[in-house]
Amino acid sequence: MPFTIAIDGPAASGKGTIARALAERFGFHHLDTGLLYRAVGAMGGDPIAAAQALSADDLARPDLRSAEAGQAASRVATIPEVRAALVDFQRRFAARAPGAILDGRDIGTVICPQAAVKLFVVAADLTRARRRAAELGTDVEEMLAQLRERDSRDAARTTAPLRPAEDAVTLDTTAMSIEDAAAAAVRIVQSRLS
């Protein structure tokens, strides 16, 4: 049985950075599940049809890291039929040997509730806004408003809302460097692998 790590949390909390560091450290496969929703949102047209036809090639689009793609992802993620179409894709990925790390909003609660390790990564709103604004070269206050709007939408949706799994370990990265956050996550994973 492959070792699965579920990492959830709001945008710009550091979950993707931590997931990539863990994948490199342990030699596991990594899937940023937000890319699935970003790709569906960026495709335009009928989001349900786009989700049903999604392929791995669609995840390589260069525009998927834009703020617009993030907002589109949050909008299409509220559609239960879109979420259902993407569940199998994610679960197949999670079954890859020797292990897999999936990061998103509902990995520990919906996609991989039996994951060996569940992390819920958080950071203060302003810290997240500063991180994302620096990444995208945008205004911090504008980014703060966008993140709060997205957080509200993600937490309020009826299907798979953003929330920690009951057995998730919360990791607050507000005052952590990338190296410190990755090291903390490595320690958590190593304790479960032992």
| Binding positions for ATP | 9-17
Taking alpha carbons only, the member of 70, 64, 66 closest to residue 10 is: 70
Give yes or no for a contact between 146 and 193, defined as CB atoms under 8 angstroms apart.
Answer: no
DSSP H/E element including 8: strand 3-8
| Binding positions | 9-17
Q: Examine residue 98 and say whether the peptide bond preceding it is cis (omega within 30 degrees of 0).
A: yes
Distance of CA 189 to the CA centre of its chain: 18
68's CB contacts (< 8 A; 6+ apart) are none
Helix axes 178-193, 15-26, angle to 10 degrees: 50
**Alpha helix stretches (DSSP H) within 34-124:** 34-43, 47-53, 67-76, 80-94
Instruction: Tell me how far apart the alpha carbons of residues 168 and 158 are, in angstroms, rounded to a whole number.
Output: 21
